[in-house]
Chains A and B, each alone.
Chain A
């Protein structure tokens, strides 16, 4: 079974090596691919000098486009399983095995497994305001699909070949996680969650850092979820 770790990286020159070392140590049997999203810092040089495995986007596409590039790579190179982790070191490679077990075992194997911060409530729990926003998204998804996703914005997700094929074709541009998860649920796919611990980001800045972008984020994600449920997910 071919397994791929997708690591979107925008200006992550300081964290990237730690992430890769963590993977080499704790995720045996996994290949990885870094997507350098036209970083303006030394991300590319770090990849080059350390002979890391990376794709170089000619122009900045944002998180959605970068992650999708990873899924396309997984599709073209024939991977059976893909997991995305953040390039800033929030996610621990040691959790990959638990995600894999949850994805493959069980009477009906899942199509996607999300690593959730909020089941065991351990590790970095984000700020109160962010948690409130996440609860709203979670509520909306439950209302519209009937499925409880405690951490819909988690960027720590593992999926099977079927989902790889879907995401390679259509994936939201920005703030993609809640929307794409809802898309899977709307098509009757099985999405489950398992508890993981996350660390506070070790460097860099969140993409949602001021009130205006937070407001825009909430509206965009809520509408996106709604449209997915309305059958906007093209077959």
Chain B
């Protein structure tokens, strides 16, 4: 990795972290849901700042070329993030369904009460 590339990668990753923190502060993103991304950005900075770390780690998990390890890790992280998003989507779907069902029931109840009130008069 050339020094120039190292600097570019680090600057972009730091900007990404700052952007994420800004969004969290503005309440447009939750810390919990953004956490995996922050971990990814920090890892990118670490690997770019200390290239020998990349060689050591790829040796550790048995991958010849460090670049392959980067792609491999990127794939794994994206899968984890997308999988957790799938769970979140379903949870939200369920919550929306529960709300729609509750509202329908309450609406009918209100209507029934109103009509029985007018009947009393």
Judged by a CB distance under 8 angstroms, whether A79 is at the interface is: no
A69 to B106, CA, bound (A): 12
Among B96, B105, B107, the residue within 8 A (CB) of A72 is B105
Chain B 56-100 residues near chain A, CB threshold 8 A: 96-97, 100
Judged by a CB distance under 8 angstroms, whether B114 is at the interface is: no
Query: Which residues of chain A come closer than 8 Å to B23, judged between CB atoms?
Result: none
Judged by a CB distance under 8 angstroms, whether A76 is at the interface is: yes
Contact with B along A189-210 (1 / 0, CB 8 A): 0000000000000000000000
Judged by a CB distance under 8 angstroms, whether A59 is at the interface is: yes
A55 to B105, CA, bound (A): 6
Contact A58 B100 (CB under 8 A): yes
Contact A61 B100 (CB under 8 A): yes
Contact with B along A54-76 (1 / 0, CB 8 A): 11111101000100110011001
Query: Which residues of chain A come closer than 8 Å to B107, judged between CB atoms?
Result: 55-56
Contact A57 B105 (CB under 8 A): no
A35 to B101, CA, bound (A): 10
Contact B96 A68 (CB under 8 A): no
Q: Name A's interface SS.
A: mixed
Query: Which residues of chain B come closer than 8 Å to A68, judged between CB atoms?
Result: 101
Judged by a CB distance under 8 angstroms, whether B119 is at the interface is: no
Judged by a CB distance under 8 angstroms, whether B103 is at the interface is: yes
Judged by a CB distance under 8 angstroms, whether B104 is at the interface is: yes
Query: Which residues of chain A come closer than 8 Å to B100, judged between CB atoms?
Result: 57-59, 61, 65
A61 to B101, CA, bound (A): 9
Contact A55 B96 (CB under 8 A): no
Query: Which residues of chain B come closer than 8 Å to A72, judged between CB atoms?
Result: 101, 105
Q: In this complex, which of B97, B101, B105 has the most chain A Cβ atoms within 10 angstroms of its Cβ?
A: B101
Contact A76 B101 (CB under 8 A): no
What 9 additional pairs, Cβ within 8 angstroms, besides A69-B105, A76-B105? A35-B104, A55-B105, A55-B107, A55-B108, A56-B104, A57-B104, A68-B101, A69-B104, A73-B105
Would you mind naming 30 contact pairs between A and B with Cβ atoms under 8 Å apart?
A35-B104, A55-B104, A55-B105, A55-B107, A55-B108, A56-B104, A56-B107, A56-B108, A57-B100, A57-B101, A57-B104, A58-B100, A58-B103, A58-B104, A59-B96, A59-B100, A61-B97, A61-B100, A61-B101, A65-B97, A65-B100, A65-B101, A68-B101, A69-B101, A69-B104, A69-B105, A72-B101, A72-B105, A73-B105, A76-B105
